[in-house]
Amino acid sequence: LSVLGIAREVAALTGAKLKHLEIKQVKAKNNAKHPVKITAAEGCGRFTGRVIRDVNAAAPTPVWMRQRLERAGQRPISALVDVTNYVMLELGRPLHVYDQDKLRGAIDVRWGRRGEKLRLLNGDEVEVDPEVLCITDDSGPIGLAGIMGGESTKAETTTGNLFLESAFFFPEAIAGRARRYNFVSDAAH
């Protein structure tokens, strides 16, 4: 479901050599960390992130990236969102950007609790329960794991500090959850 995935399939079908992307490791420019715990290890195999300070979230997305996103059916939103969508389409790796300054305490990946509510990035307010894997902080749910982030921690053009998340959620833990709320997201797909 990504450019890399399609290239891998074409190489397997045709015998052509797959050219691997060279992705260089980028050293952290600060020692900042945000605490993360995974209470629901049966739903989340890995949750990693990096704190990135002093970003210009109002910087424009490069024209070439906006054009590629549009050709792929994506609506450019902002540089931060566009970069994460680009990586998802290219490598099949959904990412999520949090406004670091809006996070309240440690992030915890856990199952929802009856009565908890969450306003999503699409504007919908949903109620979670013990069958829904959630990303939470001390304020409660801040995202539906592997599906969509929440409004309360979204990065905006005024955001200066980020927490960039890359996680692996077991398919069984997220399958059917977006449909349950009557919407589809690229990350869930």
pTM of the full structure? 0.90
Q: Confirm if 94 and 120 have CB atoms less than 8 A apart.
A: no
Type of residue numbered 111:
W
162 Cβ contact partners less than 8 Å away, ≥ 6 residues apart: 51, 52, 53, 55, 57, 80, 97, 98, 99, 100, 155
Q: Which residues of 49-62 are buried (b: 16+ CB within 10 A; e: fewer)?
A: bbbbeebebeeebe
110 Cβ contact partners less than 8 Å away, ≥ 6 residues apart: 39, 40, 133, 134, 136
Number of C-beta neighbours around residue 41 at 10 A: 12
**pLDDT reported for residue 1:** 81
- Can you tell me the distance from the alpha carbon of 16 to that of 6, in angstroms, rounded to the nearest whole number? 13
Q: What is the pLDDT along the chain (189 residues), one digit of tens a residue?
A: 899 999 999 999 999 999 988 889 988 889 999 999 999 999 999 999 999 999 999 999 999 999 999 999 999 999 999 999 999 999 999 999 999 999 999 999 999 999 999 999 999 999 999 999 999 999 999 999 999 999 999 999 999 999 999 999 999 999 888 888 888 777 877
**pLDDT reported for residue 29:** 87
**pLDDT reported for residue 159:** 95
Rg over CA atoms, the chain: 17
- Can you tell me the distance from the alpha carbon of 113 to that of 110, in angstroms, rounded to the nearest whole number? 9
Q: What is the DSSP string of 133-163?
A: EEEEETTEEEEETTTEEBGGGB--TT---EE
